[in-house]
Amino acid sequence: MNPFTVLGLPTDPDLTDEQVRAAWRTIAAATHPDRPDGGDVARYTAAATAYAQLRTAWGRSEAYADLATDQPHVPAPAASQPVPPGASIVRAVMLVPARIRHGRPWHLLLRALAAAVLSLVVVRLLPGQPSGPAMVTGLVIWFVLTGRGDLAPPPGR
Amino acid sequence: MSIWSWLKLTAALWLLRKMIKGIGWLLVAAVAVTAWPLTIVAGIGYLAAWLRGWPPVRLWRAAAWSLPMTAVYEIGEGLRLRAWPAVALAPVTDYGHAWQLLAAHSMLRAGLLVAPVAVPAGLGIGGLLWAWRIYAITTGLAGLTASAPIEFDTRQWRRQVRTARGRAAAPGTVPLLTRTGHVVIGATIRAVRHPWRPILTVPYRSFGRHAVIIGSSGSGKTNLMMRLWAGWYAAAHAAYLRREGNRPLLVVLDCKGGPDARVKAERTRRLLHGVGARRVAIWPDDARLNLWDLPPRDLGVLLLQMIETGDGAAAYYTDVMQAVVNLAMAAPGGPPPNAASFLDRLDVEWLETAYGDGLHGAAISRIRAAKSHIGDIQLRYATLLGRLGPALDGPGTLAGADAWYCILEGTREASVAEAQAMALTELVAHAATTAGGERRAILLAADDYSAVSRRVPISNLYERGRSLGLGVQVSAQSWQGLGRDEDERYRIAATADGGIWLMSTPYPEPVVQLAGTRRVLESAHKLIGATWGKEGTTRTQHAWTADPDLIRTLDVGQACYIRRGGATFVQVARPKPSPLSLPAARSPSVIVPPPAPPPDDEPPPPGPGSGPGSLDDVLGPEASA
C-alpha cells in the first residue's frame, strides 16, 4: 500500500514534516475510534501506519524508494528489449510540450513571433527568389538553436 | 644641405606618408562600400562580439551555422537555373541585382537578396577583424593610451560576465547533464588555454579522479558542489541504466556541521531525488552506519588511529594499546559485533577467558604484560565511543542507500568529527574494495575539509582511490585549510587531475602556480614628452594562466576551473533537476495543507482501552480543548 496515498499526499519524498503531520491530523480527527460515531478503525489504523512510516524525511525517502523499487523504471538490457529506431526521437518530440510549459514559455513565444514575422517579411519581399527559403531556413536554425535554452531540461538531466 | 632644404624634404616626406596612408584608407573605404553586404554583416558581428564580450570563435561558429542557409540558397538557384556555371555565378548576379534595388531605394530587399551568402562570409570576416583587434590591443600594438590593454580587458570581463549570467539563467542552456553525458557546470565567462565553449561541461569520467574546490565563505561553493554532486549522480545513474557503469553511490562528508548543514543536507536530498536517487540518507540524523562491519584487521588499525596518541616516550603506550586492541579484535569467536562488545573485551578477565584454551600461550603472555594498562585503554575507548554516539553502531551499511549526506560537527567537536571522518572514509574505502558485493561507482566529497584535516589522511585515500575507481572531492575555504602542512596541501592539489575549482579566495597563488603560465607579447613604446611615440619594442613575457588578481575579485557564483594547464572562468548555474524528472504524482506542485477539522468533529475525551491512542495523544491537548 502506498503510504503517501493513504495520507492523501502526493508520492513525493520531499514533503515536509509539517505537511505529513497536518495530513495525519486531519485523517486521525475524522476517523479516530473515540469519535461519537465510532470512527473508521481500518482507515485510522492504515493512516497511523502510514504516518509512522512517513513522519521523518528518511522514512519518506525509504517509502519512496520502496515504491520506486516496486515499479522499476530501470530498462531491461538492450539485447532483451531492443529499442525501435526512432523511438527516442518520438519520445523527445512528445516531451516538447511539457518542456515548454516548465521552461520559459514567454521567451520562447517572443522568439517564435520574431522568427515568424521576419519569415513573413522575407517571403513577402522576395517572392519566387531562392534567397527567401534560404533566409527562412536561417531563421528556423536561429530559432531552434536559441529556443533550446528556453525549454526545461528533459527528464533525468 | 641647408636647413631650409632639410625642412622642405621633411615636410614632403611627411606629406607623402600621410598621402599613402590616406590613399590606403580610401581604398579600404572603397572596398567596404563596394562589398557593402559583407561590410554590414561583419560590422554587426564585430559590434555584437565587442558588446557581449564574445571571443572570435563565437562569430565563426555562427558563420558555420549559417552555412545551411547558403546551401538552401544554392539548391534553390540550381533548381531555378539548372546550369552549374549560372548557379556558381548566382551570388554575383544577385549582388548586381542588389545594386539595382539599392538604386531603386529598396534597401531591405537588396540586403535580403544577398544575405544567404553575405551572412556566413560577413560573420567570418567580422570574427577575423575582432581577433585582430584583441591581438592588437592585448599586445600593445593598438589603443590610444598606455592603459588601453588594461581598460580593454576590464571592460570585456564585465561584458563577458553579463553575458554568462544571462546564459546561466536560461533553464535549457544549463541542465545538469548534456545529451552526451557531460556534467554541466555553468556558462563560460572566459577561457584561457582551454577551448572556448558557451557552456562549461566536465566529462563524467573525470569525476573518477580527484578534484579540489577552494572558496571563501559566501563565494557560492555550496551551489557549485551541489551541482557537481547532482550532475555526477545523474551521469552515473544514466550510465548505470544504459548498463555502461556501476550503480552510483555518493558520500558527502559535511565536516563543519551546524544548523546550516541540515539545510544543505535537505536541499541535497531534494536535488538527488530529482535526478533519480531513491534512498538519500542523512547521517547521523536519520540513518546509522555500522563501523563493526569492517574487516577485523582494518577495524583494529582504525580504532587505534581514532585515539589520539603521542610520539617519543608515549609511543610505548601506543604500542601497548595496539597490542590490546589487536587481541580484542582477533579473539577466538570472531570480531566484536558492536561497541559494547568491544568494550567488554577490553578487560583482563574477558581476554584471559577468551584466549585461555591452552592454544594461545603467546596471547596470554601479552595480556599479562599489558595487564596494568588494559583498564586505562578501556576507559579511553569507552570515552571515545561514548562521544561518537550510536551513529556508527547501527545496523546500516553504505550499500543500503544511493547517497549519504554525513554531518560531522567539526566546528563544535573537532576531535569527534575527526574520528568520525576517519571511520566514514574507511567505510567508503571498504565499500569500494569489498569483493563479492555489488560494485558501485563511488564519489566521496569532503566539504569544509579544513574542520577535520588535522588527522584524517585523505591524501592517502586519494592515492588508494585511483586504483579503486573511487572519485574524491575535497573542498576547503582556503589553501591553508586543505591540509595539515604545505607538503600535504601540495600533495592533494597536485594530484587533483579531476581539476581544481577556485572561487573567490584571498590567497590563490599556490594553486594558480599549478596551472602554470602562458607566453604573452608585451610592447613597450617610446614616450616623446607626454605622448606615445612610434618606436618601441615587443618581447615575450610569461603571465599567469589563471590570474590570481582576477580570482581574488570573483563575484558570488563565479569559479575558475583549472585543469591540464588551462583555466576556464565560469558563472556557475544554480543546480535544479528537470521538473520533468519528478514522479507523476507530484503534479499538484503546491501542496495545500489539509483544512482544520470542523467544530462538529471535535474529538471526545480519551476513552480507556489498549486500542489506538486517544485523540489527545494523536492531536495534542488542544484538540480536545
Determine whether the interchain pair B611/A61 forms a contact, defined as Cβ–Cβ distance below 8 Å: no
| Alpha carbons B374 and B345: distance in angstroms, whole number | 10
pLDDT band at B204 (very low <50, low <70, confident <90, very high): confident
- Residue B458 pLDDT: 66
- Among residues B53, B51, B45, the alpha carbon closest in space to that of B190 is found at B53
pLDDT > 80? residue A82: no
Closest chain A C-alpha to B234 CA, distance in angstroms: 6
| Alpha carbons B322 and B374: distance in angstroms, whole number | 11
B98 contacts B114 by C-beta, under 8 angstroms: yes
pLDDT > 50? residue B605: no
Distances (CA, A) of B580 to B182, B450, B575, B587: 19, 38, 15, 10
Partners of residue A65 in chain B, C-beta under 8 Å: 278-279, 402
Beta strand pairing call for B199-203 and B440-447: unpaired
Partners of residue A122 in chain B, C-beta under 8 Å: 112
Domain range list for chain B: 35-139, 182-289+396-572, 293-392
Determine whether the interchain pair B171/A103 forms a contact, defined as Cβ–Cβ distance below 8 Å: yes
pLDDT > 90? residue A114: yes
- Among residues B387, B369, B395, B250, the alpha carbon closest in space to that of B306 is found at B387
Partners of residue B596 in chain A, C-beta under 8 Å: 26
- Residue A77 pLDDT: 36
Q: Which CATH number, 3.30.565.10, 3.30.1490.20, 1.10.287.110, 3.40.50.880, labels domain A3-70?
A: 1.10.287.110
* B269 closest CB neighbour out of A57, A132, A153: A57
Determine whether the interchain pair B73/A13 forms a contact, defined as Cβ–Cβ distance below 8 Å: no
Mean pLDDT is lowest, of B47-51, B504-508, B547-551, B591-595, for B591-595
Determine whether the interchain pair A68/B591 forms a contact, defined as Cβ–Cβ distance below 8 Å: no
* B69 closest CB neighbour out of A41, A121, A135: A135
Determine whether the interchain pair A10/B175 forms a contact, defined as Cβ–Cβ distance below 8 Å: no
Determine whether the interchain pair A153/B591 forms a contact, defined as Cβ–Cβ distance below 8 Å: no
B341 Cβ contact list (under 8 Å, min separation 6): none
pLDDT > 60? residue B625: no
- Name the DSSP letter for residue B517: E
- Among residues B553, B589, B540, B546, the alpha carbon closest in space to that of B569 is found at B546
Mean pLDDT is lowest, of B153-167, B326-340, B526-540, for B526-540
Average pLDDT over residues B196-207: 91
B226 vs A67 pLDDT, higher one = B226
For B:45-104, CB contacts with A below 8 A are 65-66, 68-70, 72-77, 79-80, 90, 94
DSSP-derived 3-state class of residue B609: coil
Q: What are the φ and ψ backbone dihedral angles of A17, each rounded to 5 degrees?
A: -60, -40
pLDDT one-digit tens code per residue, B82-137: 888 888 888 899 999 999 998 888 889 999 999 999 999 999 999 999 999 999 99
Domain range list for chain A: 3-70, 87-150
For B:266-325, CB contacts with A below 8 A are 266, 269-270, 273, 275-276, 278-282, 285-287
pLDDT one-digit tens code per residue, A26-59: 888 888 888 888 788 888 888 888 888 888 777 7
Average pLDDT over residues B584-612: 38
What's the grid cell of residue B466?
585511483
- Residue B614 pLDDT: 62
- Residue B596 pLDDT: 39
Partners of residue B179 in chain A, C-beta under 8 Å: 157
- Residue B16 pLDDT: 95
Mean pLDDT is lowest, of B24-28, B277-281, B610-614, for B610-614
Most confident segment among B157-166, B215-224, B366-375: B157-166
A110 vs B466 pLDDT, higher one = A110
A136 Cβ contact list (under 8 Å, min separation 6): A119, A122, A123
Is B173 near chain A, with CB under 8 Å? yes
Average pLDDT over residues B139-164: 90
Architecture of domain B182-289+396-572: 3-Layer(aba) Sandwich (3.40)
Determine whether the interchain pair A130/B597 forms a contact, defined as Cβ–Cβ distance below 8 Å: no
pLDDT one-digit tens code per residue, B445-461: 988 877 777 776 667 66
| Alpha carbons B601 and A11: distance in angstroms, whole number | 28
- Computed from CA positions of residues B423, B424, B427, B433, in that sequence, does the dihedral angle turn out positive or negative? negative
Beta strand pairing call for B470-476 and B440-447: parallel
Determine whether the interchain pair A58/B582 forms a contact, defined as Cβ–Cβ distance below 8 Å: no
Interface contacts (A, B; CB < 8 Å) = 219
- Among residues A5, A25, A21, the alpha carbon closest in space to that of A55 is found at A21
Q: Share the mean pLDDT of chain B.
A: 85
Determine whether the interchain pair B612/A134 forms a contact, defined as Cβ–Cβ distance below 8 Å: no
pLDDT one-digit tens code per residue, B365-406: 888 888 888 888 989 899 988 888 888 887 888 888 899 999
Closest chain A C-alpha to B269 CA, distance in angstroms: 8
Closest chain A C-alpha to B40 CA, distance in angstroms: 16
pLDDT > 70? residue B548: yes
Partners of residue A19 in chain B, C-beta under 8 Å: 591, 593
Average pLDDT over residues B328-333: 86
Q: Share the mean pLDDT of chain A.
A: 83
pLDDT band at A60 (very low <50, low <70, confident <90, very high): confident
Determine whether the interchain pair B172/A56 forms a contact, defined as Cβ–Cβ distance below 8 Å: no
DSSP-derived 3-state class of residue B110: helix
Buried b (16+ CB within 10 A) or exposed e, A66-102: ebbeeeeeeeeeeeeeeeeeeeeeeeeeebeebbbeb
Name the amino acid, one letter, at B144: L
Average pLDDT over residues B210-225: 91
pLDDT band at B581 (very low <50, low <70, confident <90, very high): low
pLDDT > 50? residue B503: yes
Is B599 near chain A, with CB under 8 Å? no
- Residue B613 pLDDT: 60
pLDDT > 60? residue B598: no
